[in-house]
C-alpha cells in the first residue's frame, strides 16, 4: 500500500491534533460515565443525558443491541465489573477499548506516529467489523436467553 493511500489525504503534521482529539474524546466519555448514576434496572442510564427511553424496548419488550451500554460504562467508571457485565457484557469490552485510547494517543504522539497510517496498519476496518459482529452475536444471545425464560 502506498504512503499516499495510507494517509487518505491528511497532512501528517496534523496527526498530533487527531491523536489529541481521540484521547480527549475517550477521556470525556469516561468522565461522563463517571458523572452518571447507574440505573439499578441495568438500563436507562442514558436518560440522564436527556435522551429518550429506548423505543425498540418500548415496542418489543426486548432490549436493543445498545441497551445497558451507558449503564455498563457508568459501572465500569466506578470499577464495578460485575454490575457492568450484568448491564451489558459487550460494554465491558468497549469500555476497555475506550480506556486504552488515551495512553495509546500519548504514546503515538511521543513516538510521532501518523494517525491514519497507524489505523491502516492496525486494519481498523477489520477490527470494527469484528467488533460489530461480536456485538450482534452478543445481542442475539441476550435476546434468545430472555425469550427462553
In the predicted model, what is the mean pLDDT of the chain? Answer: 92
Tell me the pLDDT tens digit for each residue of 50-97: 999 999 999 999 999 999 999 999 999 999 999 999 999 999 999 999
Confidence of residue 110 (pLDDT cuts 50, 70, 90): very high
Residue 143's contacts (CB-CB under 8 Å, 6 or more residues apart) are 62, 63
As a whole number, mean pLDDT of residues 119-137 equals 94
CA 57 to chain centre: 21
pLDDT band at 149 (very low <50, low <70, confident <90, very high): confident
Q: How many residues does the chain have?
A: 149
User: CA-to-CA distance for 25 and 98, rounded, in angstroms?
Assistant: 9
Q: What is the mean pLDDT of residues 123-136?
A: 95
Amino acid at each position: 500500500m502506498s504512503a499516499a493511500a495510507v494517509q487518505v489525504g491528511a497532512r501528517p503534521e496534523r496527526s498530533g491534533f487527531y491523536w489529541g482529539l481521540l484521547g480527549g474524546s475517550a477521556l470525556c466519555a469516561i468522565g461522563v460515565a463517571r458523572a452518571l448514576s447507574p440505573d439499578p434496572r441495568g438500563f436507562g442510564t442514558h436518560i440522564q443525558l436527556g435522551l429518550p427511553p429506548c423505543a425498540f424496548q418500548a415496542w418489543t419488550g426486548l432490549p436493543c443491541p445498545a441497551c445497558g451500554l451507558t449503564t455498563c460504562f457508568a459501572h465500569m467508571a466506578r470499577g464495578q465489573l460485575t454490575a457492568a457485565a450484568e448491564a451489558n457484557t459487550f460494554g465491558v469490552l468497549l469500555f476497555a477499548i475506550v480506556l486504552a485510547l488515551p495512553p495509546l494517543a500519548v504514546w503515538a504522539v511521543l513516538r510521532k506516529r501518523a494517525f491514519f497510517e497507524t489505523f491502516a496498519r492496525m486494519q481498523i476496518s477489520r477490527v470494527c467489523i469484528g467488533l460489530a459482529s461480536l456485538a450482534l452475536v452478543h445481542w442475539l444471545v441476550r435476546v434468545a436467553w430472555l425469550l427462553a425464560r
